[in-house]
Structure 1
């Protein structure tokens, strides 16, 4: 199939060099089809086929026939006045999209015939698949097999359908058609779709896409986020989710899109039981919903709790800038609403901005003496529109105000409409400043405030019926803004790193040898001492521990170590030692050590089995009252893979449940943010005369633990360090436990792929210049802008972008997806000149979302580096990476005037051919298995 760009652009545009453009989406035929066939079309009253045809015709009519509809039904000659065909094969033109409303058993055959007709996509409205159990699942697999053979993308089955109001497409059986707009809504529930649709029509909210995704047999969240992220009509993406499905696909797509377009999710199932009883404390603490929450934070997705919050956040983000801090300033003419809003701010995780002294002085000049002189700024019940406006102008210049909420409660002398008119110009007055401040409003009341609400909404100031809801929305958006900052963190995992071991073995080598021995012995849990050896390999400090098989050995070890000591059960089978009397603390003599050995042995024999006793460990006794007991742990989530847990530890860890979850790998910034989410974090900073903990050192320990979990994820199912004793004197693991995965289980995948440092390579060019090839990082956006600036006018016009001018917003929007793309989707390599540390060239391998074995190649080299062999070195390194990534084919579309690029591709085995749609373009393909 041809992959041409529009001919009008090809004269000035070389698609092989514009690395900011994604491959053409396979979902275009779903949202903007030219020819639509409805299999199961009918005029029978009350039928889905009739409603669907009616919706397609009426929607198409509203935009002056953007597409052609073909009814398919062997029993009819016409439907709704349109000629009806017996089969798809009878339709005289190509078909982009087929909508299927026939019984489930017929769907595989319809898809088979669609493939023969070279249909691009299908929406399967029909129910009767996986929701019916194994027979339905088998039928669904058959549908997917036929679709895969024909390269057909499938939405559904068991869905309401798809709308694109801006295009006039209503391929649903809903009773109404959504208004055109800039919000994309995706729902796993058809009933939720219809409810939201009714609500949106009442509130006059429009959509760029309205999708019922059904059972996600093929097209999933990640596919839709990828498409909508590149859709110019979509400004924000709203999701109602019940199950995430392909978690890695969702996260990788969201990571690429969230910085440029808000993604807001409401997910059902918060109150489901967390996980089944787990072997470790971490396993019992880390419920699946907690994992989902952590994953959303990591990729910048905003999670909300209610449908109203979903749209409130979307409207604010669509109309106002994101806050740059968490300080909200409230202006109100009534005390009660101000107090309620203040409570809501604190509970939701933001804060009340503190008025600067200069701000108070300015407000004293324009407000009555009785004004509140604090935040909330109570302008009193008789405040005029002019008083509101002057107050807003003053507080927006206060450096502590990161957002402003204006509350109006109608009183006898209140001019709700006049106040709105005075405030409307402020919606954009500060938008271009270096520190834009979002404005929210709450016009409380009934009919008397409606005109004012309309004025504010039209001006771009989002309004709320209740001020506490506005305050919570600000706090939610501020939290999401903080999460977006994390997107610029690039954790690097250096596999097999050596931690200066005398043996020269890597940490992973040492750990795997221990775990292999345990598995050979048919054990799925390491002993405490083995667990500490694994931690020590990753330079996580552990208390001195000696394994002793006899009471005499234990006494001698204690004498040598020095008192006081701890004696613990050493067992390959018993996990929680205290449950069987296996821990004796604060022992101060050799005889007491011997007695403890015998007591533990007797207790284990009585409460468990004699063979569960394999001696004891003798450890230094550390005074836990000199610090804080922390738990640092990991468990495997079935959807998101390994998790890292940090929180309050000790014997009451599951009672306090003070914990935070993160997705490895972590760097120091991510580790700090993880720790900040807990209550114990504040204590670690120093309270009640206690000196603060060395937080930098603690952050390093968390990072090493994260690296350990990332490297050993194929071996470790759960891990606890509890307690990790943390004080101003030391950070030391007092107890540890590692549970192993079964060899038969498929190894889990990290939900967030680490930065692929293994692809970094230095080379020397013909000129003698040294360059470093490395994968792009999120923080490279400024470097990329400078690279663009150094391209010649000719390069930009003829072979890169269609315009030399690239304004700040356009550059940000284009580059953000490239710099922040998940490495599983996009390998973008930079050639960095090691002399000036600037970019000399960019090469991109972007996988096609529905064909992960196929990638699109883009390559552009700075003018002053052309002809020096950089392109050849780039290609050589890229081909090596492509093989390591499991790619099978690489495709490029090249302007036929670009002889240098074509010659380079041919040298590396690419087969070229003329493009069918545009003679100015050449197709180039490489099968990696052929070279």
Structure 2
């Protein structure tokens, strides 16, 4: 319940969770000391010499004062509210210190002390104790083993660094304290300022996700740059990064790129995936940009802050010397970018502006005697070309060059071309320094070498591509049509009850079929005659394969026989497979097991002509991200070609297409050398179904479809068909609650339920999907001006409400962070579904609270739908273990007030405020 002063409760609840660490009103330094050169002295001196508007309390049981400031023997002795404790005592004492802080009501701590998990198991146990004490008191912990936290704009320096960072708009997060001090020194030389400067340490509690959410709401932060050594809570990081990256660039350099996660794998997918590739896939999925060097980290932060994002990766290069243009081209194309193709209109215009001997192509070589006017005229012409996504202007100092005046005129030209990014490479030293300074001050980033500029542009294009993936509206799919979940679960349950972790090929194909994935007809035969009968029913030629519950790779035991044309060939193949298994057993390569014989007969299937493309589709478990999907070139040489792309489930059709586009085989799937294209839309839907299978059946550890045969769309035979499949399950000894979970929460089917309006109309209430964006547009078109005002507290124009950039973010949500329920009815006129109500729960990061909002189509007012939607949101909140939900409601919105009061909400009025707060405590 609210306290006696609910207005103050409201104000406190509106404060951001990490304010107590980043902008504390009072700080205690536990372990403060006068000893020269000590961490405790340095931190206290930094806090005292950089006034941040708060009170500082040294805590030291052996001294009455430290650095002239009254000291206290314990945190409890301070006697005033302390928001943040900075702990610099030895590691062994830290659990007790945190316990004392929790008992004193301190809500946050920065643990500077080292000697925890980095020292071994004893240190890890200390960390567990610290976390347990913090959890008891509801404390948040930064560290341990960290440099501390700076808020340069506030003047708060809670670190033992030698100086205070300059204020700016760049947030820097690092797991390496040593790198923090190096970056700080670099920033002074380069005049770089920071909005936040945070040493993460071991991330015992406060991790990447907490800081990314926090800085995403910070008005002073324009970009977030990260030095990462480990991902920590992968789901929290991905959830926060995806939310923030669209509006604020997140640029990461990850140490350990070449470290291999070598694990024995029973599937091709397990053999092909590596942890660093998975990390790349995770970054792509969330719009995070990964760079390879410290210089690129800050170069990208600068350019994304100064220049618009390009639509693609097509660059136009303008230069007064051929060599630098060639170098830039090599760097661009080598990193996956492309030269923009000049249109005939652009070439004709340049012909009028440039000397006869210009290059007549891209790079546009305007020759060494180019004066400033030639540069700007050529730049303006090139920028108008619709086939270009960005421009790089190169100047080399020659006898006729005017680097400073060219820069001045380029700045004027660039102001009129704000729709495309412009980069510059002013090559040379002191001779071009004044021009460089002009460009940099005007927001045109400059680079000493053109190949560096080309690589930076390529990163910009990649960043735009990744963001477009996130919010591109996918094609609508019949997500649940044809899925037989009960049949799938029955197959897996039978294997578990038999004590098996390996499905037979027949079971694996039946599992795929339960999810609507087409498979080749397969029959199991326990003896020769049954095999002949099966072959006759299927029709010759056929394939005979080993049927076994224990042998993973049938080819390892000569367990596959192809193109069998008659009954005798089938009998011979049956005997050959049985004999091959027996030979392996006698040789000791297979452990004899009377309870589980290796040979259970054969499977028979038709001999399929490989008149298409052999693909592989699979999934295996990554230690950090859980299930990971793989798509690429399949067949027997899959591990040789290694043409694959990785992705995180769940997929939609857009994400499925992006996975395909990352492979070399994709070019062939589009059609090549007279062969028609594969039905890519059908392939997208198959990948979506496969990702559903992986996320809905967590007992699957590894799964392969290899080969998945993809034929051209005009083929008479099935265009997509799984010819072979392998499924490995997690051991029965792993409880359901301990199974790896997807890093991105899958669609929450449990919240999908029917309901009936008062007039008898059937309604389906379910979580929103990305595919619902077109339905959301029609929903907003149905709303009255009054309904819009009651929801948004202003008259928000329809064009703003239905803008793709807005609706995409509202429909393509992270179900861990937000839960939006939509009520749908079937429209008999159009034969399509219509959204008639939306209810949304948005969790407040770092808390157990959430805010709710709701809208109901005007034509369904009075049908009880608003009450039912809010009931569903309350049920979701309880199921998601939230402690409270709240909403702001206009005092004139009497209908919403009545619904809330009826369902147990407490209404809190704020004097003079036309908005009141509705609060429901759930715990």
**TM-score scaled to structure 2, two decimals?**
0.90
The residue aligned with 1:425 is 412
The residue aligned with 2:614 is 629
Cα deviation per residue 1:709-737 (whole Å; 9 max; x = unaligned)? 2222x221111111112222332222111
Alignment partner of 1:55 is 2:46:
yes
Measure the CA separation in 1 of the matches of 2:140 and 2:30. Answer: 16
Measure the CA separation in 2 of the matches of 1:496 and 1:470. Answer: 44
**Residues 182, 643 of structure 1: CA spacing in aligned structure 2 closer, same or farther, 3 A cutoff?**
same
Alignment partner of 1:157 is 2:144:
yes
Q: Pick one of 677, 685, 701 that aligns with 2:686.
A: 701
**Residues 907, 754 of structure 1: CA spacing in aligned structure 2 closer, same or farther, 3 A cutoff?**
same
Cα deviation per residue 1:632-681 (whole Å; 9 max; x = unaligned)? 11111122121221111111111111100111222222211111111111
SS of the aligned residue for 1:440 comes to strand
> What displacement does 1:94 show?
2.0
The residue aligned with 1:529 is 506
Worse overlay, 268-277 or 75-84: 75-84
SS of the aligned residue for 2:50 comes to helix
Within 5 A, what are the aligned runs for 1:870-881? 870-881=865-876
The residue aligned with 2:17 is 26
Alignment partner of 1:844 is 2:840:
yes
Contact preservation (8 Å) 1:4, 1:918: no
> What displacement does 1:494 show?
10
Measure the CA separation in 2 of the matches of 1:196 and 1:428. Answer: 32
Measure the CA separation in 2 of the matches of 1:208 and 1:463. Answer: 23
Q: Pick one of 911, 920, 923 that aligns with 1:926.
A: 920
Measure the CA separation in 1 of the matches of 2:797 and 2:605. Answer: 68
The residue aligned with 1:212 is 199
Cα deviation per residue 1:143-193 (whole Å; 9 max; x = unaligned)? 222222222211011101111111111111112322211111111111121
Within 5 A, what are the aligned runs for 1:195-206? 195-206=182-193
Alignment partner of 1:604 is 2:581:
yes
Q: Pick one of 249, 257, 270 that aligns with 1:283.
A: 270
Measure the CA separation in 1 of the matches of 2:183 and 2:661. Answer: 36
Worse overlay, 155-164 or 533-542: 533-542
Q: Pick one of 670, 673, 697 that aligns with 1:685.
A: 670
SS of the aligned residue for 1:518 comes to helix
Alignment partner of 1:416 is 2:403:
yes
Contact preservation (8 Å) 1:22, 1:846: no
**Residues 718, 770 of structure 1: CA spacing in aligned structure 2 closer, same or farther, 3 A cutoff?**
closer
The residue aligned with 1:720 is 704
The residue aligned with 1:503 is none
> What displacement does 1:881 show?
2.5
**Residues 241, 495 of structure 1: CA spacing in aligned structure 2 closer, same or farther, 3 A cutoff?**
farther
**Residues 322, 2 of structure 1: CA spacing in aligned structure 2 closer, same or farther, 3 A cutoff?**
farther
> What displacement does 1:217 show?
0.7
Within 5 A, what are the aligned runs for 1:254-269? 254-269=241-256
Within 5 A, what are the aligned runs for 1:53-132? 53-60=44-51, 65-91=52-78, 93-132=80-119
> What displacement does 1:540 show?
1.9
**Residues 708, 755 of structure 1: CA spacing in aligned structure 2 closer, same or farther, 3 A cutoff?**
closer
Q: Which runs of 5+ in 1 are unaligned?
A: 16-20, 500-505
Within 5 A, what are the aligned runs for 1:126-275? 126-275=113-262
Contact preservation (8 Å) 1:256, 1:816: no
The residue aligned with 1:443 is 426
Contact preservation (8 Å) 1:275, 1:283: no
Measure the CA separation in 2 of the matches of 1:233 and 1:810. Answer: 29
Alignment partner of 1:460 is 2:430:
no
**Residues 532, 874 of structure 1: CA spacing in aligned structure 2 closer, same or farther, 3 A cutoff?**
closer
The residue aligned with 2:623 is 638
Worse overlay, 727-736 or 449-458: 727-736
Measure the CA separation in 2 of the matches of 1:654 and 1:675. Answer: 18
Measure the CA separation in 1 of the matches of 2:50 and 2:781. Answer: 43
> What displacement does 1:492 show?
11
Contact preservation (8 Å) 1:4, 1:893: no
Cα deviation per residue 1:51-110 (whole Å; 9 max; x = unaligned)? 2122223332xxxx4323222223333333433333323335322222111112222232
**Residues 811, 103 of structure 1: CA spacing in aligned structure 2 closer, same or farther, 3 A cutoff?**
farther
SS of the aligned residue for 1:404 comes to strand
Cα deviation per residue 1:485-532 (whole Å; 9 max; x = unaligned)? 222257799999452xxxxxx522112222222222221101111111
Measure the CA separation in 1 of the matches of 2:34 and 2:214. Answer: 34
Contact preservation (8 Å) 2:6, 2:908: no
Measure the CA separation in 2 of the matches of 1:297 and 1:316. Answer: 19
**Residues 808, 209 of structure 1: CA spacing in aligned structure 2 closer, same or farther, 3 A cutoff?**
farther
Higher relative contact order, chain-length normalized (CA < 8 Å, sep 6+): 1
**Residues 539, 446 of structure 1: CA spacing in aligned structure 2 closer, same or farther, 3 A cutoff?**
same
Alignment partner of 1:310 is 2:287:
no
The residue aligned with 2:334 is 347
Cα deviation per residue 1:295-316 (whole Å; 9 max; x = unaligned)? 1111111111111111121111
Worse overlay, 870-879 or 473-482: 870-879
**Residues 345, 228 of structure 1: CA spacing in aligned structure 2 closer, same or farther, 3 A cutoff?**
same
The residue aligned with 1:825 is 817
Measure the CA separation in 2 of the matches of 1:645 and 1:536. Answer: 19
Cα deviation per residue 1:227-250 (whole Å; 9 max; x = unaligned)? 111111111111111111111111
Contact preservation (8 Å) 1:785, 1:811: no
**Residues 23, 605 of structure 1: CA spacing in aligned structure 2 closer, same or farther, 3 A cutoff?**
farther
Measure the CA separation in 2 of the matches of 1:551 and 1:337. Answer: 72
Alignment partner of 1:520 is 2:509:
no
SS of the aligned residue for 2:198 comes to strand
SS of the aligned residue for 2:32 comes to coil
**Residues 582, 123 of structure 1: CA spacing in aligned structure 2 closer, same or farther, 3 A cutoff?**
same
**Residues 277, 453 of structure 1: CA spacing in aligned structure 2 closer, same or farther, 3 A cutoff?**
same
Measure the CA separation in 1 of the matches of 2:572 and 2:13. Answer: 71
Cα deviation per residue 1:14-66 (whole Å; 9 max; x = unaligned)? 99xxxxx9964210111111222211222321111122122223332xxxx43
The residue aligned with 2:485 is 508
The residue aligned with 2:742 is 750
Measure the CA separation in 2 of the matches of 1:352 and 1:69. Answer: 58
> What displacement does 1:484 show?
1.1
Measure the CA separation in 2 of the matches of 1:859 and 1:345. Answer: 48
Contact preservation (8 Å) 1:41, 1:79: yes
SS of the aligned residue for 2:96 comes to helix
Cα deviation per residue 1:549-587 (whole Å; 9 max; x = unaligned)? 222332333334333222221111111111111122222
SS of the aligned residue for 2:674 comes to coil
**Residues 812, 602 of structure 1: CA spacing in aligned structure 2 closer, same or farther, 3 A cutoff?**
closer
Alignment partner of 1:405 is 2:401:
no
> What displacement does 1:420 show?
1.0
> What displacement does 1:738 show?
0.7
Q: How many residues align?
A: 901
The residue aligned with 2:376 is 389
Worse overlay, 517-526 or 226-235: 517-526
Q: Pick one of 704, 720, 724 that aligns with 1:735.
A: 724
Contact preservation (8 Å) 2:499, 2:732: no
Worse overlay, 73-82 or 917-926: 917-926
**Residues 786, 264 of structure 1: CA spacing in aligned structure 2 closer, same or farther, 3 A cutoff?**
farther
**Residues 740, 786 of structure 1: CA spacing in aligned structure 2 closer, same or farther, 3 A cutoff?**
closer
SS of the aligned residue for 1:149 comes to helix
Measure the CA separation in 2 of the matches of 1:771 and 1:520. Answer: 39
SS of the aligned residue for 1:683 comes to helix
The residue aligned with 2:606 is 620
Measure the CA separation in 1 of the matches of 2:4 and 2:671. Answer: 63
Alignment partner of 1:670 is 2:655:
yes
**Residues 59, 423 of structure 1: CA spacing in aligned structure 2 closer, same or farther, 3 A cutoff?**
farther
Q: Pick one of 882, 891, 903 that aligns with 2:877.
A: 882
Superposed CA RMSD in Å reads 3.6
**Residues 526, 918 of structure 1: CA spacing in aligned structure 2 closer, same or farther, 3 A cutoff?**
farther
> What displacement does 1:291 show?
1.4
Q: Which runs of 5+ in 2 are unaligned?
A: none
**Residues 367, 561 of structure 1: CA spacing in aligned structure 2 closer, same or farther, 3 A cutoff?**
same
**Residues 371, 141 of structure 1: CA spacing in aligned structure 2 closer, same or farther, 3 A cutoff?**
same
Measure the CA separation in 1 of the matches of 2:139 and 2:647. Answer: 37
Contact preservation (8 Å) 1:495, 1:711: no
SS of the aligned residue for 1:311 comes to helix
